[in-house]
Amino acid sequence: MRTQVGIIGAGPAGLLLSHLLHLRGISSVVLERQSRDHVEKRVRAGVLEQGTVDTLTAAAVGDRLRREGLPHQGIELRYDGAGHRIAFEELVPGRSITVYGQQEVVKDLIAARLADGGDLRFEVDDAALHDLGTDRPYVTFGGERLDCDFVAGCDGFHGVSRPSIPAGVLTEYEREYPFAWLGILARVKPSAEELIYARTDRGFALHSMRSPEVSRFYLQVPLGEDIDAWPDERVWAELKTRLETVPGFVLATGEITEKGLTPMRSFVAEPMQYGRLFLAGDSAHIVPPTGAKGLNLAVADVRVLTEALTQWYETGSGELLDGYSQACLRRVWRAQHFSWWMTTLLHTFESQDPYEQRLQLSYLDYVTSSEAAAKTLAENYVGLPFG
């Protein structure tokens, strides 16, 4: 087989890249280790930046997003017995976020690619990348060979793409946090119209949603926690303790349909390219979910890579391809800092002494009382403009 771009991974990055390339007349084949059913049901991020929504809409895959997504004009920071709204409509006019699950984005993209005759291969568990440092890279899988001009590694942190880069090429930066998030999905109407980020002495909690009938919650728990130690009754009791801290707020409870643990970590690999291989999304960088940046960074990477590949095929110039990593990393490191900042601002740390706790609360007071500080949070949260 031969194609122009071989794409490893059918998550949001790989699927969106394939779709955007198709719109530019560039062929691709997408190889995914998991089944289609698994990929379409994999619950991940749910907050889309303004730029991500605009990108999907412009690519004609935003119809269901516009119908079913939940636009939000603000978030609430809840601490010390009070709630404080960060009002996007006042701080960053014309920009907002939309709550729409990552798995829904994936479903929309798969449907679009298949409708356009896209070549998506699922359950490919033995893909291997070859000759990446030459102008004739290829991928082998299932006894077949896929020749291509370029390879896009969109297969996540544990995929085969990044490990295919020779030792000594990459510099890796990593930060592991001493806690995890216990996340649940519940069939219950959200108890608030917008996301609530709650900082308490018992730990962080997040009230989010996926639809008018489905809510999403997170609890800060110790790293290495046993999920079996959290039966439904304990989860709801702890969520109530951490969220019912302002007068009049009552948390609605219901059937928990999914439960999982997510270690909190930050990771960046530089550069994001080697020869004819270009990394995008989680294969190159990971952020803690506090800042809601993971999926949105993947979309930003793919936008840059699409423009670079389009320039190469239309003009033969490799200028944008050569600058791919540098262009992406500017945004990646801004998102890394914002995610780290949100994480340290809202979580409790076992190593904190009373002095550090008071500093944390003082900074929360500053963010919620200063228009300048609130605007910094708002413009980073809704996403910095592309370009």
197 is catalytic: yes
381 is catalytic: yes
pLDDT confidence of residue 34: 96
Rounded-to-integer distance, Cα 94 and Cα 272, Å: 32
Rounded-to-integer distance, Cα 290 and Cα 261, Å: 14
* H/E run at residue 39: helix 36-41
Q: What is the CA radius of gyration of the chain?
A: 21
Which of 223, 243, 181, 200 minimizes the C-alpha distance to 348? 200
**What are the beta bridge partners of residue 222?**
179
Contact 303, 385 (CB under 8 A): no
Contact 47, 290 (CB under 8 A): no
Tell me the three state secondary structure of residue 172. strand
293 is catalytic: yes
Tracing tokens 């003009």 back to the chain, one arrives at 315
Average confidence (pLDDT) per 10 residues, the chain, 387 residues: 97 97 98 96 87 97 95 97 97 96 95 97 96 97 97 97 97 96 96 97 95 95 96 98 97 96 96 98 96 95 98 98 98 97 95 92 97 97 91
Which of 35, 41, 271, 17 minimizes the C-alpha distance to 150? 17
Mean pLDDT estimate for the chain: 96
Which of 262, 245, 213 minimizes the C-alpha distance to 45? 262
**What are the beta bridge partners of residue 47?**
99
pLDDT confidence of residue 44: 77
pLDDT confidence of residue 162: 98
Give pTM, 2 decimals: 0.95
Tracing tokens 């490893």 back to the chain, one arrives at 8
Rounded-to-integer distance, Cα 55 and Cα 71, Å: 16
From 19, 207, 285, 293, active-site residue? 293
CATH topology of domain 5-73+95-174+265-344: FAD/NAD(P)-binding domain (3.50.50)
Rounded-to-integer distance, Cα 367 and Cα 381, Å: 13
Contact 22, 116 (CB under 8 A): yes
The superfamily in CATH containing domain 177-264+351-382 is: D-Amino Acid Oxidase, subunit A, domain 2 (3.30.9.10)
For residue 239, what are the contacts with CB-CB under 8 A and spacing of at least 6?
205, 207, 217, 219, 251
Rounded-to-integer distance, Cα 180 and Cα 270, Å: 26
Render the burial of 177-214: b for 16+ CB within 10 Å, e for the rest.
Answer: bebbbbbbbbebebbbebbbbbbbeebbbbbbbbbeeb
From 177, 197, 274, 324, active-site residue? 197
From 19, 72, 207, 347, active-site residue? 72
* Residue 34: exposure state from Cβ atoms within 10 A (0-12, 13-18, ≥19): middle
Tracing tokens 């440092």 back to the chain, one arrives at 133
Domain borders along the chain are 5-73+95-174+265-344, 177-264+351-382
pLDDT confidence of residue 387: 74
Rounded-to-integer distance, Cα 208 and Cα 150, Å: 39
41 is catalytic: no
From 12, 137, 190, 289, active-site residue? 289
The string of pLDDT tens digits covering residues 84-125 is: 999 999 999 999 999 999 999 999 999 999 999 999 999 999
pLDDT confidence of residue 331: 97
Which of 161, 166, 174 minimizes the C-alpha distance to 268? 174
CA dihedral of residues 53, 54, 58, 61 (deg, nearest 10): 0
Render the burial of 105-129: b for 16+ CB within 10 Å, e for the rest.
Answer: bbbbbbebbeeeebbbbbebeebeb
Ramachandran angles phi, psi of 94, nearest 5°: 85, 0
